[in-house]
Chains A and B, each alone.
Chain A
């Protein structure tokens, strides 16, 4: 069973950079069929897709965050990462990593998720 696990600091100061890593186990991140994404959820609110990456390095970002976001992949470690610069209190959220299909014509949706990690932006 594929597993995803987020890791990184739970507290980030305003104006600094939020950095998270998602480690994929019991499956390879290099599978050409999938994209690996980040989704966040502010406390008590809904879900927001941040962006996704393919193991070949192609990235897709939410335009609302694109100027501040970088998603990268490390195939040697079976990991992908999120960097969000110049954070404010509005970036406080549970951050999830998840897998979805590169070609969603046959199947779609985020079908594997990490458990999520709460990142609080505060001085």
Chain B
């Protein structure tokens, strides 16, 4: 199985900040990586696929980057709606695996 490791586990930030979450894979994924946002009591929402492609309807302040084993999710200017938990997920091989999550908190 491909292991996905996110850092940090928790991130405290303020409205307007630029934040970056990192996801590392135990083997190369090419660009087969997705990012999700999850709010309490809700299903995850797909933000980014293929490492850097923005899902329809997702605000442009979200961006993804990386290739191979290291990937990033950046939020350019934090909005109140962005405080949530973020997960990366690889779809380069089965079984599909997720990172452990990064909780983005208000400072």
Instruction: Report A's interface with B, CB cutoff 8 A.
Output: 37, 46-49, 52, 60-64, 96, 98, 100, 104, 106-111, 113-116
User: B34–A47 contact, CB under 8 A?
Assistant: no
For chain A, what secondary structure do more than half of its interface residues adopt (helix, strand, loop), or is it mixed? loop
Among B34, B36, B45, B87, residue most surrounded by chain A Cβ atoms (within 10 Å): B34
Contacts of B83 in A (CB 8 A): none
Closest A residue to B90 by CB, please name it: A108
User: A108–B50 contact, CB under 8 A?
Assistant: yes
Instruction: Report B's interface with A, CB cutoff 8 A.
Output: 1, 32, 34, 36, 42-46, 48-50, 53, 55, 87, 89, 91, 94-101
Known A-B contacts A107-B49, A109-B34; the reply to A116 vs B43 at CB < 8 A is: yes
- Contact partner, B43, options A63, A100, A115, Cβ 8 Å: A115
For chain B, what secondary structure do more than half of its interface residues adopt (helix, strand, loop), or is it mixed? loop
Known A-B contacts A107-B53, A108-B91; the reply to A46 vs B98 at CB < 8 A is: yes
